[in-house]
A = this chain, B = another copy of it.
Amino acid sequence: MSTALESKVRIQREDFSVTDEIEFMKKSSRNIGGITTFLGTGRETNKGENISELNFEHYPQMAEKKLGEIREKAIKDFGLIDMSIIHRIGHIEIGDNIVLIIACGEHRQETFKACEWAIAELKRTTPIWKRETTSKGEVWVQATP
């Protein structure tokens, strides 16, 4: 687990700065014209249930490996200049940042497509689990297969 800006796929407890992450990505090329960013944040309600806090747990090594695979496939399949993916774990308050995906391209079209694909792929393939704290206690989200 690295929290330095050196790695373009990271899982970390600490918050991140969207501006810093974008500026870091801009260094990849002087031909970036479009940058689409997806930021997931802690929502107060889910399916009518009021949430007071969230906790994320991941499978170390496998989660980073999957994020790396998503990044490489996105760059290749969508013709991006670069992509970064950062996911936080541990305790998350309502309104806090959870996940950030930055897709950089020469033109905007491919960055929208790649960013949207990457967050869906992350949810599908990356071993990260969310626990919601509600008035009824703590529940693992989608814990029942």
Contacts and interface: CB of A to CB of B under 8 A. Distances in A.
Interface of A: 17-20, 22, 26, 30-45, 94-95, 106, 108, 111-112, 115-116, 119
B18 A31 contact: no
- Tell me the interface secondary structure of chain A in the complex: mixed
Contacts of A30: 43-44, 94-95
> In the complex this chain forms, how many copies of it are found?
2
Contacts of A22: 18, 39
Contacts of A36: 36-39, 115
A31 B18 CA distance: 20
Contacts of A112: 38, 112, 115-116
Contacts of A108: 38, 40, 116, 119
Contacts of A95: 26, 30, 32
A37 B20 CA distance: 15
Contacts of A26: 41, 95
A88 B18 CA distance: 19
A3 to B, nearest CB: 17
Nearest to A27: B95
Contacts of A17: 19
A43 B107 CA distance: 9
